[in-house]
Amino acid sequence: MKKPKKNPAAKEKFSWELMYKQRFLLMMSVPFLIWLIIFKYIPLWGWTMAFQEVTPKTFAMSVWERPFVGFGNFVTAFTDRLFAQTMINTIFISILGIGLGTAGAILFALMLNEIRMQKFKKFTQTVSYLPHFVSWVIIASIAKMFLNDGGALETMLGGTRLHLMSSNSPMFWIVVCLINVWKEVGWDAIIYLSAMAGIDQGIYEAAKVDGANRFQQIWHITLPGVKPTAIVLLIMSIGSALNVGMERQMLLSNGIVQDHAMVLSWFAYVRGIGSNNYGLGTAIGMFQSVVGIILLFIANKIAGMFGEDKLV
């Protein structure tokens, strides 16, 4: 027996009826849509500078009058002596940051979720996410006073030299990522706490009746409950893997660790604005964005192939 064909007109009618019913919600979204177009899509026109020679001398010219260099800016960026090390720094800092940040946020959320003293739980959560609102200038100053050679940490250890902030090695990546985890772990844990709060408490009661202890409840109920949230956040983090902010590297680095501190954002600033070559800086930024979009789609596709939750 053949299945009856769906009427396209009926589907379209249903869609228009649904839009009419949700007209007030749609009207509320219009200001955000306008903001998105003005500040996110219209500026993409600036990517044309990546294919032109844009200097202070030619900046005032129209886009049609500037010298066209094709992919010359990309070639200049990729053949730069700092580009290879910069890519290595960016990739490994991103991997460490995503891994430590995700694990730290989930573990901290689990610990908070297991606290039964509500006043202490609220106090701990409030204190933990306060560093998120503190400027990196202040965070870097505190970190340097604590971790620099001769700092508070070495004093507490009896003067043992650790060279955490003065070692020209990948140790700097770990230090930067750990400082970032300390700064953001409380804030990142909020969404996982929300996911845990949405788990049906009846499942925990049933597990208790079956004799499950607290650890078994966490392993078999809580972690699977936050798994979809963790996967979605992980996919979004992978999409912005190359967009490592340069503020923390600039503020925490020094001349000794410079080779392991340079990331693509900082590289674009140095070669673009620092060298008055805005086309080159735009090309590096465009490279970051395009690779980020590709990584986002790849991560989303892989999650779907393994039957996991994905963005779309």
Per-residue CA distances from 229 to 189, 221, 235 (Å)? 11, 14, 10
Give me the pLDDT at residue 219, please. 92
pLDDT value of residue 9: 47
pLDDT value for 138: 93
- C-alpha distances (whole Å) from 232 to each of 153, 180, 238, 282 are 37, 21, 10, 29
> What's the pLDDT score for residue 306?
65
236: Cα within 13 Å, side-chain hemisphere = 10
CA distance 73 to 51: 7
Is 281:47 a contact under the CB 8 Å cutoff?
no
| Dihedral pair phi/psi, residue 52, rounded to 5° | -130, 165
Smallest CA-to-CA distance from 66 within 79, 48, 78 is with 48
Q: Cα–Cα–Cα angle for 181, 184, 142, nearest 5°?
A: 75
Structural domains of the chain, with CATH: 72-125+184-246+260-305 (1.10.3720.10)
User: What is the residue-level pLDDT of the chain in tens, covering all 312 positions?
Assistant: 455 455 544 444 557 888 888 889 889 999 999 999 999 899 888 899 999 998 888 888 888 888 899 999 999 999 999 999 999 999 999 999 999 999 999 999 999 998 888 899 889 989 998 999 999 999 999 998 888 888 888 888 887 778 888 877 888 899 999 999 999 999 999 999 999 988 998 999 999 998 889 899 999 999 999 998 898 888 888 888 888 878 888 898 888 888 888 999 999 999 988 889 999 999 999 999 899 889 888 888 887 776 666 656
- d(C-alpha 123, C-alpha 154), whole Å: 30
**DSSP characters for 162-227?**
--SSS-SSTHHHHHHHHHHHHHHHHHHHHHHHHHHHTS-HHHHHHHHHTT--HHHHIIIIIHHHHH
Closest CA to 85 of 142, 168, 153, 28: 168
Distance, in Å, from the CA atom of 71 to the CA atom of 282, rounded to the nearest integer, reads 12
Q: 203 has which bridge partners?
A: none
- Structural contact between residues 263 and 86, judged by C-beta atoms closer than 8 angstroms: yes
What is the distance between the alpha carbons of residues 9 and 159, in angstroms, rounded to a whole number?
A: 79
In this prediction, residue 11 carries a pLDDT of 47
Q: For the whole model, what pTM was predicted? A: 0.83
